[in-house]
Amino acid sequence: MNQSRPTIGVTGPDKGGEVAWLFTALGVWLAGGKPVHITPSFPRTADGLQGLIVGGGADVDPETYQQDAVLQEYLKRTLQNQKMTYFQRVWRFIRWIYFPALFYLRKWLSGAPKWSLDKGRDHLEFQLIDQAVKKNLPVLGICRGSQLMNVYFRGTLHPDISEFYLEEPNPSSIFPVKKIRIKPDSKLAQIIGCKKMKVNALHHQAVQKPGKDLEIVAWEKNGVVQSIEHQTREFMLGVQWHPEFLPQRRKQRRIFQTLVQKAREVNRQIEAQDMQTALAQPKDPALVEIEQQEEAFLNRQNP
């Protein structure tokens, strides 16, 4: 019996994130999920989602973890689903080709990466994380997404991790270049199936103080945090690296597989709750009368 694909929301920026989206979508699809792209220009709520991936990209605005009022303001704003016009649908398709080409052109022409803020994404993703938490959906934070998750639970970040690399270079690559250690009894260790591995690195911020009920479960030798997870929730995992760029590695694919499996469980729970709600509703009087007539007819046929 074929299982339906749970819908997994995947967040990203309006521009420059198409390559990450395509790789993440591939990871979700291979794991049995249905990826849905969410950006500030194409927002949606968590309604209809069974899982959420908060992707990488721009720095998290420092004000969100330095001033609690800023985070509260983001969470108070209303987030609504938005229906795409015909032009927007066509443009979304075209930009799958345009932006990856632009990404590689800029990569070729530019030097060191330049970091920026994206407050539109901060608002969108804080809202989605908040809704996912309230709906008890599985959540995976990738790079910036892991940092944002930590800030949501009132943790803090290192705005710049260069101070950790005074005696060694801080590599930046989509290929595995950093060695990390994983806490043996963590959920991440159960998913990955090992205590040490190499990961890629495309960041200059990292978790400093973990948020409420979050635990640091992976780190580099110099202390830079590489993964956090929630201590009580089924699946709320943040990874500082980019597993979507390592689809050839089984250990990395397991992250998406576990997310999708948890999303399936959420979907079954929602269906069961909907069925219980439907059964608890009082029957329509006309339907009750029809059932009584049918029962009376059968009784006459079989005295």
Percent of residues, the chain, with pLDDT higher than 90: 54
pLDDT for position 293: 72
Which of the residues are catalytic?
Answer: 143, 242, 244
**Token pair belonging to 166:** 């005074």
| CA 153 – CA 210 distance, rounded (Å) | 8
pLDDT of residue 112: 47
Average pLDDT over residues 129-134: 95
Given the DSSP bridges, would you call strands 225-230 and 214-219 parallel, antiparallel or unpaired? antiparallel
- 93 pLDDT band (50/70/90 cuts)? low
In a domain, 14, yes or no: yes
Q: What is the pLDDT of residue 256?
A: 98
Q: What is the pLDDT of residues 56-92, one digit of tens each?
A: 987 887 888 877 777 788 887 766 665 656 555 655 6
- Report yes or no: 147 and 121 within 8 Å, Cβ to Cβ: no
Residue 1 inside a domain? The answer is no
Instruction: Say which range, 156-165, 187-196, 257-266, 289-298, has the weakest mean pLDDT.
Output: 289-298
CATH number at residue 236: 3.40.50.880
Q: Is the pLDDT at 296 greater than 90, yes or no? A: no
Mean pLDDT of 264-279: 72
Q: What pLDDT does 60 receive? A: 84
Q: Report pLDDT for 46.
A: 92
- Give dist(CA 302, CA 120) in Å, integer: 69
As a whole number, mean pLDDT of residues 287-300 equals 70
Q: How confident is the model at residue 303 (pLDDT cuts 50, 70, 90)?
A: low
Average confidence score pLDDT of the chain: 84
Q: Is 160 among the domain residues?
A: yes
Structure letter (DSSP) for residue 113: -
Query: What's the pLDDT at 95?
Result: 58
Evaluate whether residue 2 is within a structural domain: no
pLDDT of amino acid 115:
57
The H-or-E segment that residue 198 falls in is strand 196-201
Asked whether residue 255 is domain-assigned, the answer is yes
Q: Does the structure show a pLDDT above 90 at 241?
A: yes
Residue 290 within a domain: no
Structural domain tally of the chain? Answer: 1
Least confident of 96-100, 195-199, 213-217, 234-238: 96-100
- The pLDDT of residue 1: 41
pLDDT of residue 109: 41
Is 200 among the domain residues? yes
Surface-to-core class of residue 243, CB atoms within 10 Å of its CB (0-12 exposed, 13-18 middle, 19+ buried): buried
Residue 237's closest CA among 124, 100, 139, 129?
139
Q: Which residues contact 99 (CB under 8 A, 6 or more apart)?
A: 15, 16, 17, 18, 19
Q: What are phi and psi of 78, to 5 degrees?
A: -80, 135
The whole-angstrom separation of Cα 32 and Cα 26 is 10
How far is C-alpha 230 from the geometric centre of its chain's CA atoms? 14
Half-sphere exposure of residue 208: CA atoms within 13 angstroms, side-chain side: 16
Q: Residue 186 belongs to what domain range?
A: 7-278
**Residue 302 within a domain:** no
Beta strands 7-11; 51-54: pairing state: parallel
